[in-house]
Amino acid sequence: MSPKNAGNTAAAVLEPPAAKPGKRFGLRLEYDSSRTRSPWWSPVLSVILALLLCALFIVANGMNPVTVYEKMFRGAFGTSYGFTETMVKAIPLLLCGLGIAVAYRISVWNIGAEGQLTVGAMAATAVTIYFPGLSSFWAITLMLIFGTAAGALWGLMTAIPRTHFGVNELITSLMLNYVALLALDYVVFGPWKDPAGFNFPGSPMFTAAQSLPVLGTTRLHIGLIFGLVAVLIYFLMVKFTRWGYELKLIGANPAAARYAGIHIKKHIIIVMLISGGLAGIAGMAEVSGVTHKLMQGISPGYGYTAIIVAWLAKLNPLGLIVTSVLFGGLIVGGYSVQTIGLPSSISEMLQGSILFFLIAGDMIHRFRIRRSA
C-alpha cells in the first residue's frame, strides 16, 4: 500500500497515489459520492440485523431469542391493551422525534429532547400547583402554553451558545438534560412533594380538570391528536412555505444559503425553539395524560429514543408516525420480557444497534464493486 516513490514528480504531489486494485479476483470497491439518497431497504435491513445481533446476546443469556422476540411482539401489538400502551408510548416519541427532525433538516443536532420534555412536564405541573382551581379548558390550555414555552426556552439555551458563541449544540443540549433531570429531582423531593404522598417523591395527583381526555377506558389520551396535528403542520410548512424552502436550502448547502442572504443564525434559533417546544408538549402530555402527577423517571429515555425514531424515518413525516409506533412497541415489548426474567434494557440495546446498522447501511450502498482493468 505504501507508495514508496510518491513525491518524486510534481504530478504525484498534486494527485494522491491510486489505490492498489484488489489482487485475486480483479475486483475492487469504488465509492460513488453521487449516491446520496439512502435506499428504502436500509431502515428495514437495519432493524433485521439489529434483531440478529441482539439475538446473540439473548442466546448468551441462556434464552431462546425467538421466544423473547415473540413475547415482545405479543406484548406490544398482540392485545388491545398492549396496542394502546404502544400508542401511549408512541405519542412522546412522535412529538420529540418531529422536533429532532425539524432541527436536523439544517444539521442542528438536538439531543436534548429528554431535558426539554422534562422541563415541559415541570412547567405543566407548575400550572396545577400555582393555579389549582381553573376550569378544564383553561387548565389544559395554560398547561399546554407553559409546557411548550418551557421546552422552547430549554431549546433556546442550546441555540444561543451555538449561534453566538460557537458551542457545539450536542454538548450543550446533553448537559442541559442532566440539569433538567436534577431540577426535576429537586421539585419532586422538595417544594412540590405531595404532603399526602407517604413521603413518596412526586407532586400531588392532578384533578380531572387538569387531565387530558382519554379514549374510553384505555390510557390512550388526546396527546395523539397533538402529535398528528404537529406532523401535518410540519408537512405543510416544509412543503409549501418559504420557511420550509429556506430550511431545505440551508440543509443542502449552508455556504450557498448564506450567499443567498438567508440568515442562518436566525433559522438555528427558530428550529431549536420549535424542537424544544415540541418536546415540551410531549412532556406536558405525559404528566397530564399518562402519569397525572410529576415524578422521577417521567421519561424512560424518550428523548434519546426519539433521535433514532427521527433517523429511521429519514425525517419523513409519514415515516415518523410509523417509526414512533414501532419504537413505542419496542419499549412496551421491553417491559413485557421482564416477566420471563430478562431486563427491559434489551429494548435500548435494540435501539442502539438499529442506529448502528442504519448509518452503516446508508453508506454501504454508496460503494459499488467494480472490475479493475
Partner 1 sequence: MDFTTQLLIAAISAGTPLLLATLGGILTERAGIIQLGAEGLMLMGAVSTCIVYIRSGNLLLALLAAIAVTALLGLVHSFLCVTLRANQTMSGLAMTLFGSGLSAYLGKSISGLPLPGTSPKLNLSWLEGVPVIGDIFGRLDYLTWFSLLLVLMLHLLIHHTSWGLHLRAVGDNPATADVMGIRVQLIRYSYVTAGAALIGLAGADMVLAYAPTWNEGLTAGRGWIAVGLVIFARWNPLRALFCAYFFGALDSLGFRIQLLGSAIPPYFLKMIPYVVTVLVLMYLGYRNRNKPSGTPEALGTPYIREQRF
- Residues in contact with partner 1 by CB under 8 A are 1-4, 6-7, 12-13, 16-19, 31, 33, 57, 109, 111, 161, 165-168, 170-172, 174-179, 182-183, 185-186, 189-190, 304, 307-308, 311, 343, 345-353, 355-356, 359-360, 362-364, 367
Residue 249 CB, nearest distance to partner 1 (Å)?
20
Residue 208 CB, nearest distance to partner 1 (Å)?
31
CA of 30: how far to CAs of 17, 24, 26, 226, 371, in Å? 15, 16, 13, 46, 10
CA of 108: how far to CAs of 100, 136, 149, in Å? 8, 37, 20
Of 62 and 133, the one with the shorter C-beta distance to partner 1 is: 62
Residue 306 CB, nearest distance to partner 1 (Å)?
11
Of 171 and 236, the one with the shorter C-beta distance to partner 1 is: 171
Q: CA-CA distance, 46 to 324, in Å (whole number)?
A: 16
Of 12 and 59, the one with the shorter C-beta distance to partner 1 is: 12
Residue 111 CB, nearest distance to partner 1 (Å)?
7
Please list, in sequence order, all residues whose beta carbon lies within 8 angstroms of the beta carbon of residue 70, skipping any fewer than 6 positions away. none
Of 194 and 348, the one with the shorter C-beta distance to partner 1 is: 348
Of 231 and 350, the one with the shorter C-beta distance to partner 1 is: 350
Q: CA-CA distance, 372 to 25, in Å (whole number)?
A: 9
Q: CA-CA distance, 362 to 69, in Å (whole number)?
A: 26
Residue 61 CB, nearest distance to partner 1 (Å)?
8
- Tell me the three cell numbers of residue 77: 401489538
Q: In the chain, where do the E strands start and end?
A: 27-31, 367-371
